Amino acid sequence: MYDGPIQELIDELSRLPGIGPRGASRIAFHLLDAPEEDVLALADVLRRLKESSRFCEVCFNISSEERCRICRDPRRDRTQVCVVEESKDVVAIERTNEFRGLYHVLGGAISPIDGKGLRTSTPASCSSGSPTVRCRRSSWPPIPTRRVRPPPRT
């Protein structure tokens, strides 16, 4: 379609989730028309994102420090751990202001068929060896159970 860096930018933007070729083209031309300092500020933020982002050593949430803000908060209820699929799920739950425990971020869906398992066998929040973290197992919402009868003998 286009030559040089504009096509390269469109191709890279198209690889992002939710952005197709048309949206990528619109964004690329918007950046081309934007003031240079705005584009350089965006590039700087993207660079810093990759350089300074890491996973919390306790819960695997995204953080800029060894421990995330939630794991550092002494007011958190360390007897409750909410296991979530992605860091964005932590944000959604935190917005409710209802859960005051810790989290364990799996980093994706568990799919044994696709070979995707847990990063660790137990949440790091519970296995960290810290005397301040005592976990109790709970299931909310309750996991339904179903009795299965063996087939009749013939």
Question: Shortest CA distance to 106 belongs to which of 128, 90, 94?
Answer: 90
Supply the pTM of this predicted model: 0.64
Percent of the chain with pLDDT over 90: 66
- For CA atoms 122, 124, 125, 127, the dihedral sign is positive
Q: CB neighbours (10 Å) of residue 146?
A: 4
90 and 61 in contact (C-beta within 8 Å)?
yes
What is the pLDDT at residue 108? 81
Quote the strand ranges of the chain, DSSP E.
Answer: 54-55, 62-63, 77-84, 101-105
- pLDDT tens sequence across 53-108: 999 999 999 999 999 999 999 999 999 999 999 999 999 999 999 999 999 998 88
